[in-house]
Every structure is written in C-alpha cells, then in structure tokens.
Structure 1
Amino acid sequence: MNFDTSQLRSFVTVAELKSFSKSSERLCRVQSAISQQIQKLEKQVNAVLFIRNRNGVTLTAQGERLLPYAVKMLSINDEAVSALCENQPKGWLRVGTSDTYATCFLKDILMSCSERYPGLQIEVHCGYSESIWTMYEKGQLDIVLTQCCPSNINSETLHVEPLLWMCSRTSDVYKKTPVPLALFSKGCADREIALNGLVQVGKDYTMGFHSSSHAGILAAVSSGYYVSAILASTSNQDFKVLTETDGFPPLGNLEISMAYNDHADNSPTQMFACVVREYFRWSRSRKHQLKVV
C-alpha cells in the first residue's frame, strides 16, 4: 500500500479545519475534489475516517490513528521538496508574538524553519496582544501569532484552548480569603479576563505578584503562594487545575490567531506560515494519538 500525498494533505486539512468547504479554500481546490480524495483514501485503508454531521466533521477512531502518521509523512515530503527547491526564501522576517507563546511554541517552529530555510533571518518581537497588533497595522511586523485579533484584520485561527485557574499541586493557597494572585501586568488580556471572572462571582482577591514574563508567572505559582490563570499547554505537571468546586469561575477559551499580508508563493512570510500551521497540526495530532493510546 502506497499513500498519495495529495490525499493525505486533504485528509490532514479536513481534520484540522473540521470542514470540507474551508479545506477547499485552504487548498485552493473545489470541494468535490476534496471529497473525492477523502473517499479514495477511505477506500484504500478500508475504513471510514470522518463522521459527517450538521456541525461539520470529526475524526473516527481510525482517522485518529492515521492522523499522526499523515502529518509525519507530509512533513518529510515538504522537507524534501524544500531542500531541492532552488528559490529558497531569504532575508529578514519580523515576527510578533507574546512572551508566553514564544516560550512554549516558538522553539520547535524555529527549529523546523531553520532546517528548511537556512537563508531566512528571523527577528522576534514579544509583547501583549494589543501592542503587537498595533505594530502589525503600522507595518512594523510581517507576521503575527497572538490572541485578541482586531475584527478589521484578516487572520486565521491556529489554536484554541481554555484559560485555567491553577496553583501549585502541593499548596492550599487557593483556600485563602482574599486569594493571592500572580498575573501578568496591566495591558495583558489574560489579566483582565481573570479579574473580571472573579468580580462577576464576587470572589475576593489581592494582587500579590505581577510580571510581564511567562517564566515569572510560573515561578510565582510554583512557590505555592499564588494562584494564576494559565493556558493548560503552557503550565507544568506540578500545577493543579482549580474549578468552580474550588470557588473559581470558568474563564473560557483563548484563540491564537495568525495574520500576514504577503501571501505570494515562496515569500518568507508564506513559508514561515506553512511551518507554523504544520506545527499546530502536529500538536493536535499528538493529542489525538495520546487519546487513542
């Protein structure tokens, strides 16, 4: 059995976007062509890969098993194509993101980008989302990866996950009244979401620590003396999640968006964007694989 990479690319894209219509837009192909490729792939593996319903599509158990392998095969294929491509992107690329995302996601993205496009030079600007989007609108950044995208900017959602209350696993600090908090300094959207949540449920708090650094927030929570609002994927195993049972309100989901203006083939921003998409596909496929196992 030999897999067709075009079929695998359609499969991975539909799995990511949970929509055949959105996948056709991403891949610049008509929807019927995407559907036919999925049908051929399902016939080849002798299994149904998607469950179709009114809200879109979801992976079956067999689809979840195939996804991490499909992502890996496409990654190898794209690396080979890039290595043999004569028109490698070169020059400076200005990337805007938050300190948290740079700390937790950027390492693997930069490793992949450097391996494929050694002529690309990357300059990373970290800050709170409002300032990052302002810099982008002024033309001071080429591509942005952060949350709270303004409605007037065209972007795509890369990742969605909940913002959670956390404290040290060995600490009872969450039982204190008022509860001592460690949050990002003023200007951070996460800070406002957390404080508004506490105000709405009438929970008393005191601001015991604030920082513009993700590492600083993690250090404060690890000390056992503070509670904070943190994305699950950016925390560590020494933390425990606090819920409504513990007196803390749900904070909802945060979306990481990506925006860039130069969509020309082989442009530095387009190549970097492809690597970023691949990283988050891999991240999601890894979660699927863990669930199956």
Structure 2
Amino acid sequence: MSTLDLEQLRTLAAIVKHESFAAAAVQLGRTQSAVTQQMQRLEAHIGHPLFEKRGRQKRLTEHGERLLAYARHMLAINDEALRQLQQGRLEGTLRIGAPHDVADTMLPSLLSEVVRSSPMLQLDIHVGRSPFLMDSLKRGEIDMAISNRPDAELEGVVLRTSPTVWLCGAGYVHDPSRPIPMIMADGPSIFRRLAQEALDNAGLSWTTRYTSSSLIGIRAALRAGLGVTARGVEQLDSGLRVLGPAEGLPPLPDLVYRLYVRRHVVNPLTRQVFEQIRTRLHWAGEP
C-alpha cells in the first residue's frame, strides 16, 4: 500500500485554515503554483478530487473533508513525535491559572493536553477571578492563565469564543414593567461591565439586587430566583435558563478566551509547553 505525503497533508491543512491557496502559499513560504501542484499530486494519489469550485472560491469535497480529518491527526502525531525525540521529556512545575467560569469546562481539556504531551510535569493549579489571575501572571506568580480579558501586553493563543447570555433561575418570573433585578459580581468583572453597558445602551432600567465575590454565590442567588445576571453560556444547567429578545433583553457580545503566558519567560519549560499548545491548536484548526 502506498504512503501519504505529510508535506502534502500539511499544505492541505494550511489551505483550509487560511481559506485560500494563495494565503497558504504565503504561510508555507512556497509559490501558489507549487501549492496547486502539491494538491494535484495529492488528488491523483487519492483518486478523487479534494476541492470543488463554489462561486469564486474552492471548497473541500466530501473526500477532501474526510482526508482533512486524517491529515490533522497524522500531522499532530508526527509533530508530537519530533518534539518528544528532539526535546526529551519536560520535567518541572508549571503553574496554570483559570477563572471559576471555565474551571469545569476549558481547564480540564487544557490540562489533559499538557499532561498528554509532557507527562512528567507537575502542575500547580490556581482557580480564581480573572482580573486577579492576570495580575498574578504579570507579577510572575503563575506561568500561564486562561482569561477572557484582552491584554495587548501579554502573548496569548485563542482557546475558544464563548457566547455571553442573560441567565436566571428556572422558576424566575420576568416582569418587564419593573427595573431588572441584577445579580452582580462585586469588584472588577467583565460580565458586570458588559451587563451594565448593554442595559444602559438599550435604555432599560435596572437595579442591583444581590452582589457576591464568588461565582458560587452568584449561582446560588440565581437559583433562588433573586434576579438576572450576564454570564458565559458555560454556566447554563438544568437549574437555570436563558432570557433573550422575547423578554426584551438586549444581545450581549461573545467573549474570546485565551491562554496567556507570562512576560519575560526565563524557564524554557514554560515556553516549550506554551509552544506545544499553540501548535496543537494550530493543527486542530483553531484561530
């Protein structure tokens, strides 16, 4: 049986990620004609067309989609093998921070990825409020942090884009004739700011009904039916429900969660782990 060419598969993945042959050529440091020839050879090898024209753009065929999934898997295995053989095993302690909102969702998958590629690492996990974690990161008290707060001073890689929604308890009865009772985080909070801006811009009256320094307290107030809060969709469960345009509430912006690495990294372990995560996300098709 013949063998697939990894460089051709890498080019296929780059075309899909950058959405054109020309952009992939720039990213890979090749000419556009060389990229086209690679895909022609790959199609000949597979025996099926990988792209079809839709309007002015080329999109993957069914066979192209199936091959792309295999390509990403094969490239990830190849890159991991090279990293392990060239760099050896990473040993030491890595300090990672995550906000309460995603400690049950994004953090476990991130930790699994770190341990899978670097099983000898000892992980020191810090869960807290996002602004305080970012301060700890800048002070060098932790090495990496997940955050939905944009920060141009820090280097980061996108993990996920998450919708922000209006949440209330399952039994909460919304009365549009009265000021909206808001459940807020006390102190700095991006969700508090987004909620206030959205309500004020929409001309809706609201009042602070309950404040808490923790997500546990906010969820308790929601379940008790005390009011409404703006939060990531990850917080939705059977005891909560989403309010929206039908209740007269304005839309809320999505938030981008990034993994940030601390500035002026001295320890090569931190840099290597961060680059491994960045590479894995790149070949998984994340932005």
Give the structure 2 partner of residue 290 of structure 1.
Answer: none
- Structure 1 window deviating more from structure 2 (214-223 vs 177-186): it is 214-223
CA separation of 1:224/1:143 partners in 2, compared to 1, >3 Å: closer, same or farther? same
| Contact preservation (8 Å) 1:163, 1:251 | yes
| Contact preservation (8 Å) 1:101, 1:146 | no
The alignment status of 1:47 with 2:50, answered yes or no, reads yes
Tell me which amino acid in the other structure corresponds to 1:48. F
Give the structure 1 partner of residue 184 of structure 2.
Answer: 183
| Contact preservation (8 Å) 2:186, 2:211 | yes
Tell me which amino acid in the other structure corresponds to 2:161. V
Name the SS of the counterpart of 2:104 in structure 1.
helix
Give the structure 2 partner of residue 288 of structure 1.
Answer: none
Give the structure 2 partner of residue 164 of structure 1.
Answer: 165
Cα separation, 2, equivalents of 1:50 and 1:95? 45
Using the aligned pairs only, state the percent identity.
26
**Displacement after TM superposition at 1:187 (Å):** 0.9
| Contact preservation (8 Å) 2:159, 2:286 | no
Structure 1 residues 81-120: aligned runs within 5 Å:
87-120=88-121
Structure 2 counterpart of 1:271, from 265, 273, 280: 273
- Structure 1 window deviating more from structure 2 (182-191 vs 64-73): it is 64-73
| Contact preservation (8 Å) 2:143, 2:270 | no
**Displacement after TM superposition at 1:11 (Å):** 4.2
Cα separation, 2, equivalents of 1:144 and 1:117? 18
Tell me which amino acid in the other structure corresponds to 1:275. I
Tell me which amino acid in the other structure corresponds to 2:271. T
Tell me which amino acid in the other structure corresponds to 1:186. G
Cα separation, 1, equivalents of 2:22 and 2:264? 23
CA separation of 1:167/1:11 partners in 2, compared to 1, >3 Å: closer, same or farther? farther
Give the structure 1 partner of residue 174 of structure 2.
Answer: 174
**Displacement after TM superposition at 1:136 (Å):** 2.7
| Cα RMSD (Å) | 4.1
User: What do the CA deviations read for 1:90-118 (whole angstroms, capped 9, x no partner)?
Assistant: 11112233222222111122123223312
User: What do the CA deviations read for 1:244-292 (whole angstroms, capped 9, x no partner)?
Assistant: 332111121211223335799x84433245336646976979xxxxxxx
**Displacement after TM superposition at 1:221 (Å):** 3.4
Give the structure 1 partner of residue 196 of structure 2.
Answer: 195
TM superposition score normalised by structure 1 = 0.71
Cα separation, 2, equivalents of 1:61 and 1:246? 42
| Contact preservation (8 Å) 1:218, 1:235 | no
Give the structure 2 partner of residue 130 of structure 1.
Answer: 131
Tell me which amino acid in the other structure corresponds to 2:143. D
**Displacement after TM superposition at 1:165 (Å):** 1.6
Give the structure 2 partner of residue 291 of structure 1.
Answer: none
CA separation of 1:68/1:151 partners in 2, compared to 1, >3 Å: closer, same or farther? same
CA separation of 1:70/1:239 partners in 2, compared to 1, >3 Å: closer, same or farther? farther
Cα separation, 2, equivalents of 1:83 and 1:89? 9
Tell me which amino acid in the other structure corresponds to 1:274. Q
> 5+ residue gaps in structure 2?
none
> 5+ residue gaps in structure 1?
286-293
CA separation of 1:222/1:89 partners in 2, compared to 1, >3 Å: closer, same or farther? same
Cα separation, 2, equivalents of 1:103 and 1:149? 21
Cα separation, 1, equivalents of 2:235 and 2:17? 21
**Displacement after TM superposition at 1:180 (Å):** 2.6
Cα separation, 1, equivalents of 2:11 and 2:277? 17
CA separation of 1:283/1:67 partners in 2, compared to 1, >3 Å: closer, same or farther? same
- Structure 1 window deviating more from structure 2 (250-259 vs 226-235): it is 226-235
**Displacement after TM superposition at 1:194 (Å):** 1.0
The structure that has the greater radius of gyration is 2
Cα separation, 1, equivalents of 2:275 and 2:145? 10
Cα separation, 2, equivalents of 1:263 and 1:51? 46
Cα separation, 2, equivalents of 1:237 and 1:110? 27
| Contact preservation (8 Å) 2:134, 2:145 | yes
